[in-house]
Every structure is written in C-alpha cells, then in structure tokens.
Chain A
C-alpha cells in the first residue's frame, strides 16, 4: 500500500466518529466484492435522496443473488416526478421504508471492508458519502471499482478513442443477458456480470497481490 493511502486510512481512522465502525478498515475477506446500486430521488448528488439500495455480494466467480441486501428508504422530501418514471418508486411505495439512520448501519455492516463495484458508482458513492460524513465523520474507505472504467480500459485504443459506455451497449458487446432495469438488485447483478466477464476478479487479485509484495 502506498504511503499516501496508508496515511489517508490512518487519518480516516482517527476521524472515525464511532469506534464500532472500525471493521470498515479491517482487511477484506479474500475474493469478495459488493456490487452496489441505488435508486435516487433526483440526479443531483448534492440533494438526491436514496430511495432504494441493493448490495449483491460476489464470492469468487459467483454472484450471490440469493444473499443480496435490498433496502427501501423513506425520503424526507418529495421525489422528482421525472425520476419516478425511471425507477417507478412513488412516495407511497416508500411509506414503509427505513429511515436513513436505520438503513446506513445495515448497509455498512453488510458491505464491511469489501471492495465496492458498480456502474457509474461515483454518483452513488457521492450520495452515500454525503450522508456518512455528518454521522461518522468519514467517507466510505472501501476501494471502489467502476465497471464502465474496466470496460473502457478493455476497449479503448488509439484507433478507437470513443467507447460507447451505455449500459445496454456494454451488455450487448459483452454478450451478457439484459435484465429488467432500474430494479437496484438487477442493476447490481448486471454490474457484477460485467465485472466478472471482464476478468475484474482476476485483475483485482493480481493487483492486490502485487501491491502486497511491494509493501
């Protein structure tokens, strides 16, 4: 691990508001990842609320669909009408949802220190971190893997600098089945399939091994 990263982790540990969350900094179990997807009330990470969140574990080559965590959250503000069309979650659908203060601990305990992957994960992480900072004083320390980034690395070349990163294009190009979208579990499963198909697991393992050897 690089010096900078080590220092960042040390710092984060110090600023961690709640010592019971130290597990987020433990070494992750080998060959396990979490594919994450959120449905949100709008597309602005500064204000969007999480309506529904799915975390699907990957163990080795296996997408543990059966063990997936799927939480719905009760939003505090009105859901933007144009986003309802996408995720089909209305205000009343979420009336029984969890409060963010119940949902976050469950999510964090589920994820643990495992690396997180997703499609356009940055957006989901931005919202999660926005919610975490006032509560725990930290951002999610977990390594993040952007599957569209893996795909871009695979596809890009001097001859073809433009890579079509739309989810349906990626699925089609990789010959993966499509599932009904905008169900966060399905979206997380799709991201997990892309990750496995691109050999993400093997690349991750060799990368971390190399990092360990260098330290």
Chain B
C-alpha cells in the first residue's frame, strides 16, 4: 500500500516500523470544503484526524477554542471518548487523514509513549511528558524517593533513660541521634544536644533524657523526593529528618547522606548565604544560585521544584542582606517583605525587585531610610533590576508604618481601578522574609474587612485584560505577515492563571501566597473541582517550564530573559501541549468570569 501518510511528526514518530505499516494500511482521506462542519459537538467520532492541507477550527458555543493546521492531529479527547466535545469546522478547504479510532486506541495501549500523547486527561499527559527526561540517563538523584536513599536506623529510648545511656547507644550504633518516647509524643536528642549538655557540666549518669529532648520532630514521608527533604532541611536548618511511612517512623535521613548525593548543590549555596559576613561573600553566593538553576534544569528536575528551592534560597539571600545592612535592633520592629512572583515563590530566574518594609507603628530609626536605599542598591548590583512600578523599600509607599499601609490599602480598595488593583494583587502575594511577620498579619489582604463582592469583582477584572492567544495558531499556520507572532507567556497564560487563583484565594481569605498551595487549598475546600485543580497545576508548571527554558536560552546567549516565546521554535509535541494548556487557561478564565460576574462591570 502506498505510504502517503507522514510518520515524521509527533506522536506518530514514536511508532515502530510494524506499527507504522499497520496504521498506514488503514488511513483514509477526507475532504471538507471551506465552512463545512467535520462534526458537531456530542456527535460520535470514529476517527483521529491529521490535517494534510488546510485549517480546522474548534468551536465551543460560538467561541473559537483553537486551530489545527497541517500535521496537527485532532481531536485526541474526542477520539478517546468516541464523542465529539466541540464543533469542528473547516476554515479553508481542508484535506485530512482519518485514522480509525479502534486501531489508534489499540496502538496507545501497546506503545506507551504514543499512548501518553492521547491520555484523555491533559494533566496526565503533562505528568508523563514532564517526567520523560527522568526516565533516561539524566535521572537526577534529587528526584529519587527518600526510601531509596540510605536511612539510619531509628534508636528509641525512654524519657527516663539517662544522657549517659543515650551517649552509649549513639556510640555503639554510630548514630548521631536517638528518639525518645515522651508523654507528649516523640522527641529527638542529637549529637549537638549532647555537646551542649557537656558544656552545661551536668552529670550524664544521673540526668534524664526526657526534658532535654526536642520536639516536634521534623519528619518526611518515605515516598517523598530527596529534593523535598533537602528543602525541609534548608527551611528548618536541621541536619536530619525522621522518615515516616504512613506516620510510623522507619528511619533517619542524615544530611551527610543527602549531601553526598547533592554535593555542589543547593545546600552548599544556602550555607554560603548564611555564612556570608560581607556583601562580597553574599554576591558570590548569589552567582552560585544562577549556576544551580541551570544544573537542576539540565538534570531534569521539575520546574516547580526548582522554583521551590530557588525562592527559598532567594528569601534567605534577601534576609541575610537585610541583616547585614540593618542593626539587630531594627529587626525587632520591622518586617521585610517580598511581593508579587517573588512572594509567591514562582520566580526562577532573577527579575525585577518587588519588596517592601512594614514598620511597627510609632517606631523610627535614624538610619532606616539609608538602610533601605542601600538594600535596593545592593540588589541592583547583584543583578536584580529595579522595579519599574516602584515597588521597593526606598519608595515611601512601600516602606511605611502598619497603620499607614492600612490606609494605603483602603484607599486602593475604594478606588479599585486597574493600577490600584495591580498594587493590591502584588500585596496579596506578600511574604515575610526577615523581621517580625506579625506585622504583616495585621494588614494582609485576606484580613481586610472590606472584601465584599463588588470589590472582589473589580479585583478579578484584570483577568480579562489580555486575550488568551489561541488565535496565534491560525496566524502561524496561515503564515501571514513577515514578523512571526510570539506568545507572551506571562500576559497570555501565566497572569490569568495566577490572578484567577489569587482572586479565589483572597475571596476565601487564604493566607497562602504560592499559586500551587492556593490551588491545593481551594481544591481541599471544594472551591475548585479536582480535575480542574489538577489541570491548573500541570498547566501552570508547563508555562513556568516554557518560560524557564526560554529564559535559560536567552541567558546562555548573553541576553536578558523575556517572556516572548516563539511557538514555531517549539517541537510539535510542545506546540500541541501548548494548545491544550492554553485551552485550560481559557476554560479557567471563563470560570472566573462567571464566578465574579465580570460581565456586569467589564
């Protein structure tokens, strides 16, 4: 049979020669004149289509969801369910290959990589594909499960045992800690506790362990990833974690064990930050962070995880910088905040500074203004550009007493036009990094009493500001215009997702700043249906990944990272994912539009 079907495009390029031959023998060709309908929504679908020539548009209640051009296959969901979800129309005279549904389905079962392409659930597809580099030799130790690493045995002792007995146990088993049964739950006694005990010059043979042991335990489940353990140790500055399986202690993960995996990685950078005694040392640590991003990404670590680690490190960096600049006494009365994406912990590559300082009512310090100025200047020298919106410590609006900040917020809420809404949105993501976090609690957006429906609608409104750039594909396919269209992944995709989630979180009065945490919480409180929550998580990480890849490429070329992605430069698989992801954005945008009744005020 003539081999007219082109197997060089995803996902067909992953079929074996035998599978290609089998599929090639069952390909039909259909022709749809301009404006004709391939199928209506909810009609049965017996084929997967691949465009030979022409252009197909997908419609949902009069709205165009997307386009399919040459080599694009569609509609994966309809093929799996056997029923069309949306109406498909020929924009131009279009020829398509028709692949029989039964055969494609049986191929998806036999060939998992091919199958991954068609998994009905967008999220499942993303998950399989995002994990792909990890299946190869690039598998990073960071992504191993905790229980695959070497765990030390947990040594249990009684609260009435003596310190001497504990020291003997530790010596005998080469252990660095023992766990203690106490009436208030398990506690831990470590080598450094022993050291402190020796310095206190009490008698080891008579002193009881119970009161000396520390609680609560820092624990982690055995099926978590090593990077998460790394993160916990980083966050709590502890040297070991108690590993549990369904709540039962199964062993101890020592930092040395982890570090032997992760030499040269995040913890080293953190240690450099924490130990920095001068701005020069801090700057060196800052450079390490950039290298770390590239290393982690090369090793196939998921972007969300890189972002988690990096924002943690960067918050330490900012905190260290502030404590280097400001006297300890000042820290008792102020709270240093990071705002916007930095506050959400979703910034991977360095971008503009977004920071603020809350000052306790009635407190003042003669050097404060100068400290703030130096803080911003030093960050600039570290390579963090100044914020074009002026959201920085050295601006009076963003460096003020708590009561003044409350007045600002109230006036912005009252006059909720676009600029003020963006200020409030940035404030909604505020996260304390140094000083007294209680200061923020008094003026966090979720704590403001004026959060009524009218305000929330105004707050959510900017989500309608930018069109979801689906139509870009039609222009791409038609090849009109010399200048190829680029996708502004921040405006067109990340912003609507982040802002929609933020609006829902503010409405629910949630304290979480991170979009993923917000989605988790919204899902847990049944404010988001689980399938959508899953789609949102995976879609957001997909866009973050696109942005990171793009940014790293630009950095490697010595250019400043931007958010403009050229879809033509993506693989056809990525392009397909991009289309699905933009579809999720569009769906979510509509949900927000209905939820906050934006049509009323738009």
Contact = CB atoms under 8 A, between A and B. Distances in A.
Interface of A: 61-68, 70, 175-177, 179-180, 183, 185-186, 189, 192-193, 196-197, 199
A110 B29 CA distance: 19
B27 A177 contact: no
Given A65-B29, A196-B31, A199-B33, A189 B4 contact: yes
Interface of B: 1-2, 4, 25-33, 36, 52-53, 93, 95, 98, 100
B28 A65 contact: yes
Given A65-B29, A66-B100, A197 B93 contact: yes
Contacts of B53: 175-177
B28 A61 contact: no
Contacts, number: 55
Contact of A176 (B1, B36, B95): B95
Contacts of B95: 176-177, 193
Contacts of A68: 1
A197 B1 contact: no
B52 A70 contact: no
B92 to A, nearest CB: 9
B31 A197 contact: yes
Given A61-B31, A189-B4, 4 more contacts: A192-B29, A193-B29, A193-B31, A197-B31
Q: Is the interface of A mostly helix, strand, loop or mixed?
A: mixed
Nearest to B52: A177
Contacts of A186: 2, 4
Contact of B30 (A61, A70, A176): A61
A205 B420 CA distance: 64
Nearest to B38: A61
B38 to A, nearest CB: 10
Contact of B27 (A66, A70, A199): A66
A66 B26 contact: yes
A27 to B, nearest CB: 25
A63 B28 contact: yes
Contacts of B36: 61
The 4 A-B residue pairs with the shortest CB-CB distance, nearest first, are A196-B31, A63-B29, A66-B26, A62-B30
A196 B94 CA distance: 11
Nearest to A196: B31
Given A189-B29, A193-B29, A62 B2 contact: no
Nearest to B5: A65
B50 to A, nearest CB: 12
Among the interface residues B27, B28, B30, B95, which one has the most CB atoms of the partner chain A within 10 A? B28
Contacts of A197: 31, 33, 93
A180 B2 CA distance: 9
A70 B29 contact: no
A185 B1 contact: yes
A107 B473 CA distance: 45
A192 B26 CA distance: 17
A61 B2 contact: no
A177 B30 CA distance: 13
B480 to A, nearest CB: 16
10 contacts: A62-B31, A62-B98, A65-B1, A66-B25, A68-B1, A176-B53, A177-B53, A185-B1, A186-B4, A189-B29
